[in-house]
Amino acid sequence: MTLLLRARESAVLFLATCLALGAGLAGSCTQTTGRPQPETIESTRPAPAPAPESSPAEVVSAEGSQAQTSAQKSRAKVAPTELFDVTKVVDGDTIWVQRNGKVEKLRLLSVDTEEQLSVGTSQANSTKPPTVFGEECAIWARAFFAGLASDGKPPRVGLVFPHGEEKHDVYGRLLCDVILPDGTNYNLMLVEKGKSPYFDKYGWSEIDHEGYVAAQKSAQAQKLGIWDPRTNMPTTPGVPAAKRPYDKLLPWWNARGLAVEAFRKARAAGDARVVDVEDPLDLARAVKSGERMRCFGEIGRVEDLPEGAVLVHFRATEKDKALVVRVPKEMLAQKWSFDLRASAHEFQQNYVWLEARITSGPGASFRATLEGPGDWKLAGPQVR
């Protein structure tokens, strides 16, 4: 047992040291044993280990029935009417399925599990560093879905889409909640078990917002998974620890989520002047109207130009069809209600309203005609 613990701590010490050195030095770290196997991962609490042959209900109960005190427990489960083969499970929230004659990569909505450990991976992204718990969660997920397979057939799941509409993100991933054969919402289960936070960075869940809120509160109260203070903390003094800064992330995501919710309500109210900047068809509609429109979008980056002006690049589902707005130097010198450059950074409100006339730009892109700083305002609360 002592030798095993030492081996675990040595492996994590090596990985964590490489990660802490960052992208520039990580490539110079070498190890003859390769990627750590599950038994070499150090953890301060027993790692979840559902048996592959267990049913979904048995796997859930193996970690304690108290994790099911959220809204999912009180809602009647509805088994999916259509099931698809799971072809690959990469980690807790990265799944591939066979659907309509092709293999599709899923982007599970409302969840964001931690990254797996990997030699050579940079820890430069401080908001989502690779962690021991991320590795454990990936191992758990692969075992969990393996447990759904039977009679030599692959595991099968159903998919649910907000308002029944299928959409893909900028990376071509299908946006959905995954439903297990017994009707359990897998995404929601991840939050219930503390394997993922409620990820409302891009808006509240349109499938079960209240359920996700309740699930996260329950997991936090029970200190499950990521909410356990001991998670990702090494037992060996001096070993670098990689922990995700949820104390900073949750307020940021919440502020962004409130902005998206305000936009959704404006659209639902039937205001034809409201434009979704991420949707090129909506931007094309704005161009055709020739009127000043209320454009909602996320500032992706602000590019400084040599003459002192800036280009504001809005986030888009199709990068070649993005809205790019030039703000002249003279306008930047006027009084603004918020810091335009800062709005492209982490832990700032990134969503804005822009009232302007939209025009066609180079290629398939879009531009905007401005009148002054008053055309711009934050779409939601600033991060506190």
Query: Are 129 and 91 within one domain?
Result: yes
Q: What is the pLDDT of residue 75?
A: 62
Q: What is the pLDDT of residue 338?
A: 97
Of the residues 244, 272, 289, which one is the last residue of a structural domain? Answer: 244
Backbone phi and psi for residue 200, each to the nearest 5 degrees, phi listed first: -105, 25
Q: What is the pLDDT of residue 359?
A: 98
Tokens representing residue 348 in the block: 């700032």
Whether 253 is in a domain gets the answer no
Q: Over the range 214-243, which residues count as b (16 or more CB within 10 Å of their CB) and which as e?
A: bbbebbbebebbbbbeebbebeeeebeebe
- With a threshold of 0.95, does the pTM exceed it? no
Distance between CA atoms of residues 196 and 59, nearest Å: 17
The answer to whether 372 touches 364, Cβ cutoff 8 Å, is no
Query: Are 163 and 24 within one domain?
Result: yes
Query: Are 76 and 155 within one domain?
Result: yes
Tokens representing residue 40 in the block: 């070499």
Of the residues 222, 244, 266, which one is the last residue of a structural domain? Answer: 244
Looking up residue 289, the CATH number of its domain turns out to be 2.40.50
Q: What is the pLDDT of residue 42?
A: 38
Query: Are 171 and 265 within one domain?
Result: no
Distance between CA atoms of residues 9 and 158, nearest Å: 40
Q: What is the mean pLDDT of each run of 10 residues along the chain (384 residues)?
A: 38 41 32 33 39 36 40 69 97 96 97 85 75 96 96 96 94 96 98 98 97 98 97 86 94 98 97 96 97 98 97 94 98 97 97 98 96 98 93
Whether 8 is in a domain gets the answer yes
What's the chain's length in residues?
384
Where do runs of H (alpha helix) occur along 105-242?
132-146, 186-192, 209-222
Q: Quote the domain boundaries for residue 338.
A: 258-378
Where in the chain does DSSP place strands (E)?
84-91, 94-99, 102-108, 156-160, 174-179, 274-276, 292-304, 310-314, 324-327, 351-360, 366-369, 376-378
Of the residues 215, 244, 273, which one is the last residue of a structural domain? Answer: 244
Query: Are 275 and 160 within one domain?
Result: no
Whether 249 is in a domain gets the answer no
What is the number of structural domains in the chain? 2
Tokens representing residue 220 in the block: 């936090």
Residue 18: strand, helix, or coil: helix
Query: Are 229 and 273 within one domain?
Result: no
